[in-house]
Structure 1
């Protein structure tokens, strides 16, 4: 929000009044630079005893202090300006000072005092000044959440400002009305106001105002759901505002809320904490509870419900002290959601009071969420009529508004239909909500935005799965299992357009990584270089998020069991599903689909956690024999127990080759360690639909095999040469020929690629997972920009097959990216492996690939061949899986 001010009048040169008005103009254009001039003007006005000059100078100083966040000092000087205006008998100056005082007071979190000040200004002003004051009153009403009242004030003020040709104040009023309209979900009208304001600001050469308008356009676009557009505006705003000495905290506020809207909760918390610190440092207390609420919502989405409840209740208390009832209701809603997750008892009356405030305040999205909470509570307590009374108006939102709100409306409609016993129609409503979210997701060009935004699908897919489980038919359970997993990979994104700036940043990142490696080898400090690396990664991430999405390649929905069964042939499908803390299995064998309840998820997870530890101990060349024997015993015992839990009750799969669709921690299980899977061809796929698409795809027109070895691995060079020798015409890229550019070029031209290199899964930032080559790391962002990739890829690299698993079994990492770009078969390790021990396995694997064996069969045979050569060799071989088809 921008405060209003009237135009200063002309004055004779070289007087206190002229100096004060010069300071006033500077305060508006560059608040940071204006303060010294304004302080000099205040002292000169006092010396000359000129109350008019003193009023203008104090006004300039108070305005600049307010714009720079020094709100308490601003309030003191603006009160002084009002006193001097009264002393000079100038209702205009006194009224203008009280307008700015009102804005400063609302920033300090004193809305009642602010309304008192603005009403005092209105009572003394006439003409243009009164129109400006009325627009300022609308700003204050907006800030305290009284949006309809604010809009009514703007309807009077803006036509009056147009008549008086107060261009600067008209520009400010348009900005502020745009924000008010966006709060009421009138997004097109809001953008029209902001763009008109931008035109006026450019005509008046007001760069700081242009930055503020860009920030507000970003805010509106985020509400509307256009995330790339919002990020572009916020980046422009940040650059402009910093350059011209304005306050960055509001940009941080908008950015945190945008990040939250796409489920990036860790980044949301980081930015929100920076914003709180910035607002507190400038003593602008009004916005502090807003950021606490953002922190609370991020914690709630991240499953940290106790933290969410604490932050939300503190925010509600602070909002109440500021008399911001609508905002307080928002905070109380988050506290209720967190409290329910923590098992707290919440009264119907408490939730109803929240609904009433949000509905009265026109907060449609929040009111919808509150109604869903109220409906859920009423349904649990057997009050079907009350539940329906909330769900009916909530379901009406499915026809209008942003994608997320329409999807939530369809969720409400599904609950209504379910309550009526219309389960088939309820499932149709869930599908409609998912279709809206998936269409919206394709507009997000960046992978991380698409993955994390899947959090909005979770309740819909959970409801669909719940309906299917109650129905009991395996076919319906299969459909909803498929709809709830790896939607990003099934709905493949379009290739991003060329971006020279992003390419340059990736080159800088590689060079920096090399400098870090050299410095470490030389025993030199690397802290400064690591800071540069972090900054470059942030710039690459932010730049990539600006890239537009597209229509994407939307799938027609999950593959049907009958179509899938025909493609499976003599294979068996084994798909795992988590539901209410239990692990279930779906099997499809000879066209017959069956469902089995297996074990508690927690029991399986506990066993999965033991495997990396056992393999690590087994892989140590310098380990004592007793340690190695204990590790082998632990691995064998764990494998037997997992085999019993996961496979023992599935007699129908027999000894058939398996297509496994994991969930959660099972994505990182090295399946060959299980007795039932030893020597059996096993293919792991993120979804059955994705497996079917890859299995039935036409073959690649590309031919040939490429091999590359990265630096720093004792066996990589010999391994690459041995693998290349197996394939006719294959050449190994070694030493300084194994560069990122050479490998990326090879990936676009061959049908089979083998990479022996250090691999790293960056769990905190998985799109910077990498393979180390001669000139630095090849990262996920490099792969995403390739026009094509080989149909078969072998990554003889530690951890390269493991992915970070997010909500909805969405995957991030090197392996997931190869699959997303079109690789049909990928062989890689899902656990840390001893790099020096992979060569025997890789040679055995490629010998079979060269003879035409399928990758899954070739891997199983190679693992059997090398398993007993040594404990370390066993550990290395065990970690590899075949992903894809």
Structure 2
């Protein structure tokens, strides 16, 4: 009968059914006690806490009737843990202490483990370590593999909470070796989950995500809830820059937990995770609400460690919501003192917060004291802890009036984050992780402008601009499961598109498509990056030399919400101040709306309104710099939030050779990229175009030996094979931008969508690529100043120049534009030169003019 107890964590469903079967008969007291305990454990960990307590109390009553002290002690241990999880801390700890007193030998060691576990739940880590250390030798001596492995796992988890990653690794490794000798499937899943937490604490986000996903798969096979896993995944997602996803996961888990009447302790922890995520997702009011409730729950549960962390989030959220007061400084300082006393690694974060608020109030002496405490963490620990320290050091230097000190602290902090980001193999994670350096980058830009003028401001603007594009993402592994998912995704997406055209229902297909998207994204997020090689630092002198006498590069930096125009050329960098970024963003949206209207015949009356909006955009974005552009080509380097500006609409740029680049470094790299030897043009025509891709047959005749892929030949595998290393690719295919998942933005091929994830598998993307369809130059702005989309996937992979479209266009009007563009290329022009001439060759009506403005040349080819 006692074999049912370990079965709860080996085969939970079977254990529950067998226990209920025992109780359906007339069991003896000992058997009844075990059966009720099994049901109580199942309900405690996977179900309703009310039912758990009911069954565990019955188990204790039957144990008393069985007159077995050890049986009663064991049940008291289980009951004590359940009471703690139900928020009845005093009753739970009393039950556990009575269990320790009643038990003897091996049983007493098991109850000691549960007492240690409860101390960990409560945040009393030193007490937890003391009790689990007392239990382990007895469990080992009894050759109790299962409970020894559990005790080692618990000790490792406590070490992690205290920041001792190496000790935790050792214990996790020993526990995992023991688990492999057992059939405890749930415990094995928990071990994988714990290893994921250890990987995260060691700074390895991709491995952490992979292990947590593996643990989730194991739990799913057992049919058990995963609330602790959700809490840990939220922590990893936040560190990866995926705060909105962490908030959604925490709220979903909260709903599920409340639905089954689950553990009160887990509810408080999920509320804390949700509050942290909301704070990082710039939802301070949501963070305040979640954190305030978490504080109340933790206080009622007597969980001081957790309450202190919740108060830290609550104070930070109130500060983010605009509150500034001496009381808030005192709150943050008190939390910092508590966290130091508890040995919590988050203490520097609280000191940094206290210092920030004190600076806001002008309390420089108080700020220095708190920031100095936070700055000590810059010397060691995980990357994000060191980032906290360098941020504190930068604020100290700013308060002391030392621009040089600010720049040094910012440089060191951003170097730490660079190293961390390069461990991430997925371009999405690299881009999103930059948000953690946004403050340092802004501080450095301000200090750079004060201490070194325009050239230094340019250097620091480049230091944190489009850094995700500074190196190609790691190629997705030759993973059969990933390749299978990509193939299945194309098939399902194609079937869904066909069903929509025929008016058939698609919910089932859409659900399967979303499932496959999650699988594909998950596998790519697991990729680890290569070790950082240092890379080439941006050199303003090298840029100016490459620009020469005629070309002007205009980099737009944003300081305190206002656009700063850095005009580079003729051996110098000049700074001009333009308008407010928020106003420019609003005007750009108006322009996009106008271009959408002009894409339809009969909208001629809208043309003056769009042109007037273009003039206002120029005033906001270029200001007085517009009069100093000279007569030669212009390269625009905008911040990510201005990616939808149709730059050719601005009056001073309308007749120019114009290109756009995510950064000056990216332009330099494109300028110095050599075309492949002997590459043939590749012409692709996808299905469903209004004109049927009418330019492709004429281009095929013009290029002679070009590879033409159309109709059933235009499949994703065939297209990718031909694009790899091509000199020039022209793709006439429907484009779809996915704001909710930019790496699933696509071009429609004969067998389904060609997505960004597919392009990332290329060894080298085409040297030049022309995308003659709508929405191919749309991006998602993420992180500090990063863009995710089709064009930004191509640029790090070897493409030196792209022509793409940022707005819906009229298909028929695109054809003459594309033909004129290729005429220019035939004459040896660059993409930007050819596009300028092609615009001039179009009829002067509103429809064709809007079409020309909607297309942009990116890069330098």
* TM-score clears 0.5: yes
1:259 aligns with 2:240: no
The one of 180, 199, 212 aligned to 1:221: 199
1:663 aligns with 2:646: no
Q: Identify which range, 198-207 or 168-177, moves more after superposition.
A: 198-207
Q: Which residue of 2 aligns with 1:803?
A: 779
Farther off after superposition, 294-303 or 169-178: 294-303
Equivalent residue, structure 2, for 1:378: 358
SS in 2 for 1:755: strand
Q: How does 1:363-402 map to 2 (within 5 A)?
A: 363-364=344-345, 366-402=346-382
The 8 Å contact of residues 702 and 749 in structure 1, kept in 2 or not, is answered as no
Alignment of 1:477-492 (within 5 A): 477-492=457-472
Q: CA deviation at 1:84?
A: 2.5
Match of 2:758 in 1: 782
Query: Which secondary structure state, in structure 1, belongs to the residue aligned with residue 324 of structure 2?
Result: coil
* Pair 1:24-2:2 in alignment: no
Assess if the C-alpha contact under 8 Å between 1:726 and 1:847 holds in 2: no
Equivalence for 1:109: 87
Alpha carbons 2:579, 2:619 under 8 Å: kept: no
Cα pair distance change 1:562/1:36, threshold 3 Å:
closer
Give the C-alpha shift of residue 819 in structure 1: 0.8
2:165 corresponds to: 187
How far the C-alpha of 1:770 sits from its partner, in A, is 0.1
- Is 1:197 the counterpart of 2:175 in the alignment? yes
Q: How many angstroms does 1:25 deviate by?
A: 4.7
Identify the range of structure 1 (301-310 vs 58-67) with the bigger mean alpha-carbon deviation: 58-67
Q: Summarize the Cα distance change of 1:148–1:556 in structure 2 as closer, same or farther, 3 Å threshold.
A: farther
Give distance in 2, aligned partners of 1:755 and 1:873: 20
Displacement of 1:332 in angstroms is 1.8
Q: Is 1:423–1:467's contact at 8 Å kept on the other side of the alignment?
A: yes
For 1:801, what is the secondary structure of its paired residue?
A: coil
The equivalent of 1:13 in structure 2 is: none
**Consecutive unaligned residues in structure 2, runs of 5 or more:** none
Q: Counterpart in 2 of 1:874?
A: 849
Q: Is the 8 A contact 1:491 1:553 kept in 2?
A: no
The partner residue of 2:295 within 310, 316, 333 is: 316
1:127 aligns with 2:105: yes
SS in 2 for 1:382: coil
Aligned position for 1:93: 71
2:571 matched to which residue of 1?
A: 591
Partner of 1:535: 515
> Structure 1 pair 731/30, CA: closer, same or farther in 2 (3 Å)?
closer
- In structure 2, the partner of 1:501 is 481
Tell whether the 8 Å contact from 1:706 to 1:724 is kept in structure 2 after alignment: no
Gaps of 5+ in 1: 1-19
- Aligned match of 2:668: 692
The residue aligned with 2:133 is 155
Q: Structure 2: how far apart are the matches of 1:556 and 1:713?
A: 43
| Cα separation, partners in 2 of 1:217 and 1:702, compared to 1, 3 Å | farther
Alignment check: 8 A CA contact 1:748 1:789 kept: yes
Q: Distance in 2 between matches of 1:448 and 1:273?
A: 23
User: How many angstroms apart in 1 are the aligned matches of 2:324 and 2:388?
Assistant: 25
Alignment of 1:338-487 (within 5 A): 338-346=317-325, 347=327, 348-364=329-345, 366-471=346-451, 473-487=453-467
CA shift, 1:22, in A, is 4.8
Aligned 8 A contact 1:493 1:553 in 2:
no
**Contact 2:544–2:571 at 8 Å: present in 1 too?**
yes
Matches within 5 A, 1:604-619: 604-619=584-599
Once superposed, which parts of structure 1, at least 4 consecutive aligned residues long, lie more than 4 Å away?
Answer: none
Shift of 1:848: 0.7
1:14 aligns with: none
Q: For residue 263 of structure 1, give the secondary structure of its aligned residue in structure 2.
A: coil
Summarize deviations over 1:445-503 as a string: whole Å, max 9, x none: 11211111111111111121122233361122111111121111013333333222211
Q: Which of 214, 217, 230 is residue 236 of structure 1 equivalent to? A: 214
Q: Does 1:829 align with 2:808?
A: no
Query: Contact 2:780/2:787 (CA < 8 Å) preserved in 1?
Result: yes
Q: Which residue of 1 aligns with 2:40?
A: 62
| CA separation of 1:192 and 1:278: change in aligned 2, threshold 3 A | farther
- Matching residue within 691, 694, 698 for 1:715: 691
Deviation at 1:657, TM superposition (A): 0.9
* Equivalent residue, structure 1, for 2:15: 34
- Residue aligned with 1:838, SS: helix
Query: What TM-score results when the alignment is normalised by the length of structure 2?
Result: 0.96
Q: Secondary structure at the match of 2:117?
A: helix
Contact 1:494-1:552 at 8 Å conserved across structures: no
Give the Cα separation in 2 of the matches to 1:420 and 1:646: 33
Work out whether residues 604 and 846 of structure 2, in 8 Å CA contact, stay in contact via their aligned partners in 1.
no
Specify the alignment match of 1:565 in structure 2. Answer: 544
- Distance in 2 (CA, whole Å) between partners of 1:641 and 1:678 is 14
Matched, 1:641 2:616: yes
1:867 Cα deviation from its structure 2 partner: 5.0
More displaced stretch, 652-661 vs 463-472: 463-472
> What SS is found at the alignment partner of 1:713?
coil
Aligned with 1:290 (options 265, 269, 277): 269
Identify which range, 794-803 or 50-59, moves more after superposition.
50-59
Displacement, 1:173? 0.6
**Is the deviation greater in 316-325 or in 246-255?**
246-255
Q: Aligned partners of 2:529 and 2:479: how far apart in 1?
A: 14
Cα offsets for 1:45-81 (capped at 9, x unmatched): xx46x33333223222322332332322121121222
Measured in 2, the distance between the counterparts of 1:877 and 1:732 equals: 25
Secondary structure at the residue paired with 2:8? Answer: helix
Moved more, 840-849 or 106-115: 106-115
What secondary structure does 1:246 align onto?
A: coil
Q: Secondary structure at the match of 1:612?
A: helix
- Asked whether the equivalents of residues 70 and 107 of structure 2 are also in contact (C-alpha less than 8 Å), the reply is yes
Give me the whole-angstrom Cα distance separating, in 1, the residues matched to 2:42 and 2:233.
25
Task: Return the alpha-carbon distance in structure 2 between the equivalents of residues 617 and 354 of structure 1.
Answer: 55
Distance in 1 separating the partners of 2:804 and 2:496: 27
Could you tell me how far 1:629 is from its partner in structure 2? 3.3
Indicate if the aligned counterparts of 1:619 and 1:876 stay in contact, CA closer than 8 A: yes
| Residue 644 of structure 1: how far off its partner (Å) | 2.7
Alpha-carbon separation, structure 2, partners of 1:285 and 1:699:
62
Is the Cα contact below 8 Å between 1:614 and 1:635 reproduced in 2?
A: yes
- Residue 586 of structure 1: CA displacement? 0.5
Indicate conservation of the 8 Å contact 2:23/2:32, yes or no. yes
Tell me what 1:277 maps to: 255
1:641-692 Cα distance to aligned partner (Å, 9 max, x none): 2223333511332222101100143211111111111120111000011111
> Would the aligned equivalents of 1:23 and 1:41 in 2 still touch at CA under 8 Å?
no
Q: Among 817, 825, 828, which residue is 1:841 paired with?
A: 817
Aligned mates of 2:405, 2:644 — CA distance in 1: 37
Query: What secondary structure sits across from 1:556 in the alignment?
Result: coil
1:724-763 mapped onto 2 (5 Å cutoff): 724-763=700-739
CA–CA distance in 1 between the matches of 2:153 and 2:215? 14
Distance 2:185 2:828 in 1: 66
SS at match of 1:535: helix
Report the Cα distance in structure 2 between the residues aligned to 1:884 and 1:350, rounded to whole angstroms: 50
Distance across 1 between alignment mates of 2:350 and 2:207: 29
* 2:552 paired with 1:577: no
CA distance in 1, matches of 2:702, 2:757: 31
Q: CA deviation at 1:752?
A: 0.5
Q: CA deviation at 1:189?
A: 1.5
Post-superposition offset of 1:203? 0.9
Q: CA RMSD in A?
A: 1.8
Question: What is the CA–CA distance in structure 2 between the aligned matches of 1:424 and 1:748, rounded to whole Å?
Answer: 46
Contact 2:155 2:168 in 1 (8 A): yes
Corresponding residue number in structure 2 for 1:17: none
Residues of 1 paired with 2:375 and 2:843: CA distance? 58
Mapped partners of 1:705, 1:809: distance in 2: 34
| Paired residue total | 855
Which position in structure 2 is the counterpart of 1:12? Answer: none
For the Cα contact (< 8 Å) 1:167–1:200, is it kept in 2? yes
Q: Distance in 1 between matches of 2:19 and 2:398?
A: 67
